[in-house]
Amino acid sequence: MSEVGPPVSGRGWRFGYPDYVLLMLILMYMLQYIDRSVVPILAQPVKAEFGLTDRTVGLVVGFVFTVPLGLMLVPAGYMADRGNRRNILSIALVVWSLLTFVSGFARNLWQLAAIRALVAAAEAFFVPNSQALIADYYDRTKRATALSRVFIATALAIFVGVPLVAGVANAYGWRAGFFIAGAPGLILGIIFFLTVREPRRGSSDGITTVAPPPSLRQAFRIIKRQPSAIHVAWGMTVNTMVFAAFSAWTMPFLMRVHGMSLSDAGWVMSVAYGGAAAVGYLFGGVVIDHLGRRDARWFAAVPGGLVLIGLLSMQTTSFATSRGILIGSIAMWSLINAVVVGPSIAVVQNLIPPQMRGLVAGGTSVLLNTVGAGLGPLIAGGLSDMFAADYGTRSISMALAVAALLQLWAALHFFWATRTINADIARIDSLSSET
């Protein structure tokens, strides 16, 4: 299909064809998040059938998934700049959904790990291609809002996907959980291919020729001169590490320590975790944007303060004895993460020149997925095994409490960024005006 310019809507947010494309991408991201989360959701019954340790489960949830994902992000970004993004996304969705479905037939750990690695490689194509597609359907006055709305998909996945997969697995066995997670993507992939048009690159901004990006050496030199960008990126990475640990192990924690069934734990995660995340994605960026217009240091200071509050709420989750306090604390750290993630990504983008934002976005995604999401579940699983002899079923509670202390490290990076962020923004404004 030939490339076409997207319809440009007038003022306001009246639903038009670009919004239909955005809705499709939100649904696609929701399915991706469900497919990514299906192993943590089913960790307890999978562990029981295959006779796994917590460390091994953490490895499958962590590095087995995040390393292939990280390795494919740069090639996926390369293809996004040169290929038909609608076709790439359609194929990727069908492939990762089919592989998720096939995961239900795994007969041992190695088969499951191999299939999950392939799922991760296919899912790597979503981020660069979807962001590039959105940028060509929305001009710069609406692009940030459109991109932020995509994150609502994670809350929808938690609110809809977690109880659905957990409920089906509870009724029909864990293998059925993989089947119900993978099947919808096979249908959506076909609908996306048939109904979404590939926009002309740069059409939303009236750009016909894009300036060449800097070389890797030049890009590295620019980033090196922006210490606040480096600190915010590391703050995001460490926060992701802790959040990934809690995301991966809260379901088993609720079942082991609080005696919940798989279905009940799924509903707690859906309401507390998913509902709070939705609120954070909708309103958190608005507050930080308002403060940041007064002084850019707020862009880093607010996330730094919030991750410290997140540390306290995670400690509360680990040792809560009251059901109400438990659910409230889960909602609190989920809300905080949702508020931190979007503005932090925006800060890094604001601290680099426009012609290298794709490169930095890919590099940041590699850092978040391999170091952050990769290490978090593995650290928590290893700590749980280490504490098992002394704490029994409460070993996962102790493991999460210790892992949460890494938020002190994350907060330090955010606070360090406040020292130079105004100067770094001024330097980029000066550099951009000269090019």
What confidence score (pLDDT) does residue 131 get? 78
pLDDT of 433 over the 70 cut: no
Distance CA 33, CA 37 (A): 6
pLDDT of 65 over the 70 cut: yes
Q: What is the pLDDT of residues 134-144, one digit of tens each?
A: 777 876 556 65
b/e per residue 123-147 (b: at least 16 CB within 10 A): bbbbbbbbbbbbbbbbbeebbeebb
Cβ contacts of residue 256 below 8 Å, gap of 6+? Answer: 44, 393, 394, 396
> Would you say the pTM of this structure is higher than 0.85?
no
User: Containing H/E element for 125?
Assistant: none
Q: What's the mean per-residue pLDDT of the chain?
A: 84
Confidence of residue 426 (pLDDT cuts 50, 70, 90): confident
Cβ contacts of residue 73 below 8 Å, gap of 6+? Answer: 124, 127, 128, 362, 365, 366, 369
What confidence score (pLDDT) does residue 10 get? 41
Distance CA 268, CA 244 (A): 17
What confidence score (pLDDT) does residue 157 get? 85
What confidence score (pLDDT) does residue 76 get? 83
- What residue spans define the domains of the chain? 17-202, 214-435
Taking the CB of residue 312, how many other CB atoms lie within 10 A of it?
15
pLDDT of 116 over the 80 cut: yes
Q: Of 251-260, 409-418, 422-431, give the lowest mean pLDDT range.
A: 422-431
Helix, strand, or coil (residue 263): helix
Confidence of residue 283 (pLDDT cuts 50, 70, 90): confident
Two domains, one topology: 17-202 and 214-435: yes
Distance CA 199, CA 25 (A): 14
What confidence score (pLDDT) does residue 236 get? 92
Fold of the 214-435 domain:
Growth Hormone; Chain: A; (1.20.1250)
Fold of the 17-202 domain:
Growth Hormone; Chain: A; (1.20.1250)
Q: Specify which of 42-51, 134-143, 159-168, 189-198 reaches the highest per-range mean pLDDT.
A: 189-198
What confidence score (pLDDT) does residue 40 get? 82
End-to-end, the C-alpha distance of the chain in Å comes to 35
Q: What is the pLDDT of residues 232-250, one digit of tens each?
A: 999 999 999 999 999 889 9
What confidence score (pLDDT) does residue 353 get? 66
Q: What is the pLDDT of residues 6-57, one digit of tens each?
A: 444 444 446 789 989 999 999 999 999 998 888 888 888 888 888 878 878 7
Q: Of 183-192, 273-282, 311-320, give the lowest mean pLDDT range.
A: 273-282
**Mean pLDDT value across residues 304-316:** 96
What confidence score (pLDDT) does residue 38 get? 87
Question: What residues form DSSP beta bridges with 199?
Answer: 4
Q: Between the CA of residue 219 and those of 17, 353, 355, 360, what are the distances in Å? A: 36, 9, 10, 9
Q: What is the pLDDT of residues 311-337, one digit of tens each?
A: 999 999 999 999 999 999 999 999 999
Distance CA 171, CA 165 (A): 10
Q: Of 13-17, 157-161, 423-427, give the lowest mean pLDDT range.
A: 13-17
Cβ–Cβ under 8 Å, residues 24 and 196 = yes
Taking the CB of residue 1, how many other CB atoms lie within 10 A of it?
10
Confidence of residue 155 (pLDDT cuts 50, 70, 90): confident
Triad 292, 298, 302: Cα angle to 5°: 125
